[in-house]
């Protein structure tokens, strides 16, 4: 499968625990984006990363949330001390480096996070 | 006012009908317009990607952009039950920012 890969597909955590969501971009893509989708709502941008750099984190909550895209390995979205309001589907998208930023973004199938 | 407005539906049509899905946006600086299809429990799948005003056709799908009215549309001809999904419009601001702004999605049901 050459698409955007996200894991796990489903993640259950208790309040106060940490959640780690992983995203491997499409082959040849070096730009990664994270979006959150609450029930009955559209996707909301969280953060845009390139390898080893956070480019735009304007949509990311200031506390408890962090993201990284290391030189090797997948991008990680980390949520510390989860609360019930963090329950949502988290989607990762990727795009190739060419095109001056106007390449379309391709999405994975998401991680559905449930907080007990 | 939301940056992108989209009627949530649901929209129910008989098989073979022409479907019209629409979004309006508020910021004239937006330049790139996309339509994604999302099946239940899956990620958004890119259907159409346009830049300029006018029409773009791909098979049974036609995307239309009217920048003067800040209005974008997706038309589906000869709709099939397999087209039943949620359709999301997405808009990208000018150079320098890559965050897509999505509409809330329109749920479409095509009845066989």
Average pLDDT over residues B4-20: 93
Name which of A41, A48, A100 is nearest B104 (Cβ-Cβ): A41
CA dist., res. B74 & res. B55, Å (int): 10
CA dist., res. B45 & res. B25, Å (int): 21
Q: Which pLDDT band holds residue B101 (cuts at 50, 70, 90)? A: very high
The per-residue pLDDT for A104 is 86
Q: Under 8 Å CB-to-CB from A61, ≥6 apart: which residues?
A: none
- Contact criterion met (CB < 8 Å) for A100 and B102: no
Q: Which pLDDT band holds residue A98 (cuts at 50, 70, 90)? A: low
The per-residue pLDDT for B27 is 85
- Contact criterion met (CB < 8 Å) for B6 and A42: yes
Summarised one tens digit per residue, pLDDT across range A8-22 is 999 999 999 999 999
Instruction: Measure in Å the smallest separation between the Cα of A63 and chain B Cα atoms.
Output: 20
Whether A56 shows a pLDDT value over 70: the answer reads: yes
Q: Compute how many other C-beta atoms are within 10 angstroms of the C-beta atom of residue A11.
A: 17
Q: Which of B4, B87, B92, B98 to mutate to test the interface with A (most CBs of A within 10 A)?
A: B98
Whether B7 shows a pLDDT value over 90: the answer reads: no
Whether B49 shows a pLDDT value over 80: the answer reads: yes
Q: Which pLDDT band holds residue B53 (cuts at 50, 70, 90)? A: confident
Size of interface A-B (CB pairs under 8 A): 65
Assigned token pair, A2? 């050459």
What percentage of residues in chain B have a pLDDT greater than 70? 97
CA dist., res. A49 & res. B106, Å (int): 29
Instruction: Write phi, then psi, for A52 (nearest 5 degrees).
Output: 65, 10
Whether A97 shows a pLDDT value over 90: the answer reads: no
Q: Compute how many other C-beta atoms are within 10 angstroms of the C-beta atom of residue B103.
A: 27
Contact indicator for A85, A41 with CB cutoff of 8 Å? no
* Bridge pairing between strands A111-115 and A10-13: parallel
- Contact criterion met (CB < 8 Å) for B49 and A104: yes
């Amino acid at each position: 499968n050459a698409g955007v890969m996200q894991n796990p597909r489903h993640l259950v955590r208790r309040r106060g625990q940490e959640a780690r969501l992983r995203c491997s971009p499409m082959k040849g893509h070096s730009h990664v984006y994270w979006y959150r989708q609450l029930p009955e709502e559209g996707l909301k941008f969280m953060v845009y990363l390139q390898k080893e750099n956070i480019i735009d984190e304007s949509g990311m909550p200031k506390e408890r949330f962090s993201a990284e895209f290391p030189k090797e390995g997948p991008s990680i979205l980390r949520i510390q001390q989860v609360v019930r309001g963090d329950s949502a589907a988290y989607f990762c998208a990727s795009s190739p480096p060419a095109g001056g930023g106007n390449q379309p973004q391709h999405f994975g199938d998401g991680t559905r996070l449930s907080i007990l | 006012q939301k940056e992108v407005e989209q009627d949530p539906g649901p929209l129910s049509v008989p098989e073979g009908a022409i479907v019209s899905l629409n979004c309006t946006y508020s910021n004239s600086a937006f330049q790139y317009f996309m339509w994604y299809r999302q099946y239940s429990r899956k990620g958004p799948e890119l259907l159409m990607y346009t830049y300029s005003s006018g029409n773009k056709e791909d098979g049974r799908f036609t995307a239309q952009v009217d920048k003067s009215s800040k209005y974008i549309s997706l038309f589906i001809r000869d709709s099939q039950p397999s087209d039943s999904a949620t359709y999301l419009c997405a808009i990208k601001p000018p150079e320098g920012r890559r965050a897509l702004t999505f509409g809330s999605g329109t749920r479409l049901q095509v009845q066989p």
